[in-house]
A and B are shown apart, each in its own frame.
Chain A
Amino acid sequence: MSESVKIVEKKPIPSEATMLIGLPDVGLVGLIATSYLITELKLEEVAYMDSDLLPPVVVLHKGLPHAPLRIYGNQNLIAVISELAVPVPAIYSIMRKIVDWGQEKKVKRIVSMGGIPVESRQAITEPQVFGAASNQELLDTLTKRGLNLMNEGYIVGPQALSMRYSISKKVPAIAILAQSFYNYPDPEAAAMALKEFSRIFEIKVDVAKLLEKGEEIRLKARDIMKRTQQEMNRMKKSQEYDLPLYV
């Protein structure tokens, strides 16, 4: 099954980099934050993903075709994005491949940014950001750097799998999650998540332009949000509202 997904490298991939994953999910927080970071840091496309499990789609940018699932990078950072709502049946193989590939490339850690759906989001002016990590040492590091922890709760979808597979592969993994709308694109939440990412990993990025372009992003992101919502419904994403029971 893992062979059904291939990562085709176009350029040399650095080792010891931080791998950032921003796939379409709640409020498109991870995708908006990661694609903005790619543009701001002028990261180059270094690889792309090919799989028969994905719909037959290419994305045209400036007239040239691109795979919807692409990997960008520089010497310190590798960023994975998808301009396609990843179909639920493909998500296991895709995430397993990303983590396996990251381990092969000796990444220092895997970070995924995303949203935590909150019902009263429109009443929140500045979304709060929470963290989760694959081991206690990492959690302590996040706490020391002032990030609130998501102590109890469910994570569903690509972030859940990136965390699960990272643990089994012994690759340190962190999730940075901002309070966000469930199925409306949320550039403000993306900006907050990115600010925390930038602060924790000391990667300089100014989110002012992201906030300025918020309305334009919300207009442009309606279609991918709609398709992402269909996949979120299929993967029972609403379980993130549930309270876990462990006595």
Chain B
Amino acid sequence: MFRGNSMSEKQRKRSIFDIMSEYVEEFETLADELMESAFPEGPSWNTETCCLHALSNVFITPREVIVTADLPNIEPETVKVEAVDENLIEITAKMKKKVRFADLGIYHRQGEFSFLRCQDHIHVAFDAEKMKISYKGGIVEVRFPRKK
């Protein structure tokens, strides 16, 4: 009887290690979810929109939001930067030459691509109307002042 009570007491009172272990598990799940949202799985192209997805980065400084994108093989004058909404920007550019899967050595898929495109979520307020765009060595850099 005494033992039985002691066991159920133990089961009710979780040790600090159990609680910590649960926290760690929750944290790991959250970290995995964040990683998945940062690097969504899926193809790096869209045959319907004829777009290849470009690699991009977002840097937040105290005064600016700086977005860069790797845009090889494009016509620089076609670079278009658009604020899709207050937290999302999209960069697109037309490629100098259409790229087909076959050009990349892939023959089991069909499709051709005319554009490079990326979308980036920005989690601070920024002024899209005052953006400055520069392009050098195949890298587009867009600078937005942050809103106070």
Contacts and interface: CB of A to CB of B under 8 A. Distances in A.
A70 B54 CA distance: 28
Nearest to A182: B57
A51 to B, nearest CB: 23
B103 to A, nearest CB: 8
Nearest to A187: B72
Contacts of A216: 72-73
A219 B39 contact: no
B145 to A, nearest CB: 20
A219 B104 contact: yes
Contact of B55 (A125, A184, A214, A233): A184
User: Size band of the A side of the interface?
Assistant: 20 to 34
Contact of B39 (A181, A222, A226): A226
Contact of A222 (B55, B57, B136): B55
Interface string B97-137: 00100001000000000000000000000000000000011
Q: Chain A: interface secondary structure?
A: helix
Interface residues of B, number: 19
A104 B19 CA distance: 48
Contacts of A226: 39, 44, 55
A183 B52 CA distance: 17
A226 B70 CA distance: 12
A222 B54 contact: yes
A123 interface: yes
A214 B72 contact: yes
Interface in B47-73: 52-55, 57, 68, 70, 72-73
Contacts of B1: none
Interface in A185-224: 185, 214-216, 218-220, 222-223
A230 interface: yes
A218 B138 contact: yes
B54 A122 contact: no
A230 B35 contact: yes
B139 interface: yes
A233 B44 CA distance: 20
Contacts of A223: 44
A230 B31 CA distance: 12
A225 B44 CA distance: 11
A181 B141 CA distance: 14
The 9 closest A-B pairs by CB, nearest first: A215-B72, A218-B72, A184-B70, A122-B139, A215-B73, A122-B136, A230-B39, A222-B44, A223-B44
